[in-house]
Homo-oligomer: A and B are copies of this chain.
Amino acid sequence: MKIDDTDRKILISLQRDAAQSLDEIAREVGSSKTPVWNRIRKMREAGIIGAQTVILDAEALGFEATFFVLIRTSEHEADWQQKFLAALRARPEVQEAHRLAGDIDYILKVRVENARAYDVFYQALISEVKVHNVTALLSMEEIKATTALPL
């Protein structure tokens, strides 16, 4: 599916505020309700527009510690990897997980109540799957956090 300039404007607007009415979006992109609605529907069907969610205040809800976890492993068999990925997907503390190119094999972003909760998570993970080397980076300050793509 190809995206034109109006679609792009709609996406920018939706990323900023998905709670807006169609009229507001239409006014912003210089169109009117029906075409905007049809474009949104098409992009939803094409999977370009995914879930609609709400950003919560992590600190206010007691999640005061964010760790970035760098993982090196000696195991590279398909079997081990399946198990590892399943473990990551099953743990709600893991907000992000990426397989990397190069020296470090995986990076995780883990959101927990405090350092103690991170240790519980860490112990549980390494008892489930064997990893060679783990480095945890503790966030002192969240400078920026957005899900918006630089459209």
Contact = CB atoms under 8 A, between A and B. Distances in A.
B54 A52 contact: yes
B56 A140 contact: no
Interface string A57-68: 110110100101
A18 interface: yes
Oligomer copy total: 2
Given A15-B53, A53-B52, A54-B52, A61 B149 contact: yes
A71 to B, nearest CB: 11
A120 interface: no
Interface of A: 1, 3, 11, 14-19, 46-58, 60-61, 63, 66, 68, 85, 88-89, 92-102, 104, 106-107, 109, 111-112, 137-151
